[in-house]
């Protein structure tokens, strides 16, 4: 087997010298793998929410057009990096082959079912056939192959959870795990997009971390998601609003916090232009965590400067130590959360 680079530089076709994520084109030839790669027989692509929403809207909801757009992305790039959002997603598959340099050094064997925890925007991918598109959960079943680099992270699919349920949760594992790191007892936490997949997990984790002296506020776009969140009981306050309209949202949060605003704001939405609602609802010296891949750094940074806000802004790194374990444990320890995720995503 040929010797490969730890970070996958050997798969970059153009421009040479850049890492696989920003690269314009990757080598997705799966006939021969390098000695430090894992070949995966792909079952399902879990497309990033911002990416799938953009593709869905571009296709007008037509599944044939969605398939055409996805195939075109992979044909041009050798990976699935949405050219508009820049984001990808992750995948579920079966380990088909392990490179010689990795054998005995990792806890995988051929035949193991895994979810990759690195973005499709840097994963060499070949799609042979799109079998089913499930627009309601951003998942696409395919026949195809993918490569996981030596530096790539993954999670074995647990036996006690349905695989599609685990895949949906692992797709956003970074958000609740980062919430667990950021939130402390007594904090007031504002979660934008609280009724969505990552939002519900963050609400649950925030409730655990804030304790009886803290407060969790959830913003939902639709009444149905707000009703679901109220029923779950993770939030002290839930309201319906449009996060692209910062002033009305700020006024509501101000009323709910007696003008003190929030210590931590977590943005989980999949649409642009929600940066200022996040900033304005956070108190000076507070923290805004942008998990959303639709976030504009320019809008967030210059917008905060423009309103004289001294918030600390964090980019939503999808990885933090223990993120897969934290997220799956949430589904195990709360029956209500697991029931909702099973109904919506499994």
Q: In this predicted model, what pLDDT tens digit does every residue of 71-111 receive, in sequence order?
A: 999 999 999 999 999 999 999 999 999 999 999 899 999 99
CATH code (residue 283): 3.40.50.720
Q: Which of 87, 106, 86 is nearest to 95 (CA)?
A: 106
Helices (H) and strands (E) in the chain, counts: 11, 14
Counted domains in the chain: 2
- 319 and 186, same domain (yes or no): yes
Domain assignment present for 165: no
Domain assignment present for 34: yes
Q: pTM score > 0.95 for this model?
A: no
- 38 and 118, same domain (yes or no): yes
Domain assignment present for 1: no
Q: Which of 175, 149, 105, 128 is nearest to 319 (CA)?
A: 175
- 115 and 185, same domain (yes or no): no
- 17 and 143, same domain (yes or no): yes
- 118 and 197, same domain (yes or no): no
Q: What is the pLDDT of residues 195-236, one digit of tens each?
A: 999 999 999 999 999 999 999 999 999 999 999 999 999 999
Domain assignment present for 169: no
- 145 and 196, same domain (yes or no): no
Longest dimension (CA), the chain: 64
Contact assessment for residue 88 and residue 120, using Cβ atoms and an 8 Å cutoff: yes
Domain boundary residue among 157, 184, 206? 157
Domain boundary residue among 157, 183, 215? 157
- 237 and 137, same domain (yes or no): no
Domain boundary residue among 128, 157, 186? 157
> What's the rounded Cα separation, in Å, for the pair 279 and 303?
8
pLDDT of residue 321: 87
- 282 and 145, same domain (yes or no): no
Domain assignment present for 166: no
Domain assignment present for 238: yes
pLDDT of residue 154: 95
> What's the rounded Cα separation, in Å, for the pair 237 and 269?
18
Q: List, in sequence order, every residue forming a beta bridge with 315; answer none if it has no partner.
A: 290
Q: Which residues of the chain have pLDDT under 70?
A: none
- 203 and 324, same domain (yes or no): yes
> What's the rounded Cα separation, in Å, for the pair 145 and 141?
12
Domain assignment present for 164: no
Q: Where are the alpha helices (DSSP H) in the chain?
A: 49-58, 63-77, 163-171, 174-182, 197-210, 223-232, 246-256, 275-280, 297-306, 323-333, 335-345
- 70 and 141, same domain (yes or no): yes
- 149 and 181, same domain (yes or no): no
- 285 and 145, same domain (yes or no): no
Q: What is the pLDDT of residues 120-138, one digit of tens each?
A: 999 999 999 999 999 999 9
3-state secondary structure of 132: strand
Domain assignment present for 151: yes
Task: Supply the range of the domain harboring residue 291.
Answer: 174-345
pLDDT of residue 346: 75
């Amino acid at each position: 087997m040929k010797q490969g680079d730890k970070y996958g530089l050997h798969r970059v076709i153009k421009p040479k010298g850049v890492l696989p994520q920003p690269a314009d084109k990757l080598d997705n030839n799966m006939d021969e793998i390098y000695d430090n790669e894992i070949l995966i027989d792909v079952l399902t692509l879990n497309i990033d929410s911002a990416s799938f929403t953009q593709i869905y809207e571009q296709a007008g909801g037509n599944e044939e057009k969605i398939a055409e757009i996805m195939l075109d992305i992979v044909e041009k790039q050798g990976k699935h990096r949405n050219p508009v959002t820049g984001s990808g997603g992750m995948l579920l598959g079966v380990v088909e082959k392990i490179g010689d340099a990795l054998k005995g050094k990792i806890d995988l064997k051929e035949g193991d079912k895994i979810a990759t925890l690195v973005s499709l925007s840097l994963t060499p991918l070949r799609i042979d056939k799109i079998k089913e598109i499930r627009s309601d959960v951003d998942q696409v079943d395919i026949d195809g192959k993918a490569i996981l680099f030596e530096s790539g992270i993954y999670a074995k699919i647990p036996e006690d959870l349905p695989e599609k349920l685990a895949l949906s949760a692992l797709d956003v594992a970074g958000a609740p795990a980062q919430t667990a790191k950021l939130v402390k007892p007594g904090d007031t936490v504002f979660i934008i997009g609280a009724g969505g997949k990552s939002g519900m997990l963050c609400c649950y984790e925030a409730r655990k971390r804030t304790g009886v002296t803290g407060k969790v506020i959830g913003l939902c776009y639709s009444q149905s998601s707000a009703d679901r969140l109220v029923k779950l009981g993770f939030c002290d306050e839930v309201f319906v609003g449009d996060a692209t309209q910062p002033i009305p949202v700020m006024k509501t949060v101000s009323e709910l916090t007696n003008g003190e605003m929030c210590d931590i704001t977590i943005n989980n939405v999949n649409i642009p232009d929600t940066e200022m609602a996040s900033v304005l609802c956070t108190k000076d010296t507070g923290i805004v965590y942008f998990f959303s891949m639709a976030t504009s750094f320019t809008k967030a940074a210059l917008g905060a400067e423009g309103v004289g806000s001294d918030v600390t802004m964090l980019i939503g790194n999808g990885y933090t130590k223990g993120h897969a374990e934290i997220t799956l444990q949430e589904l195990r320890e709360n029956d209500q959360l697991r029931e909702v995720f099973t109904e919506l995503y499994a």
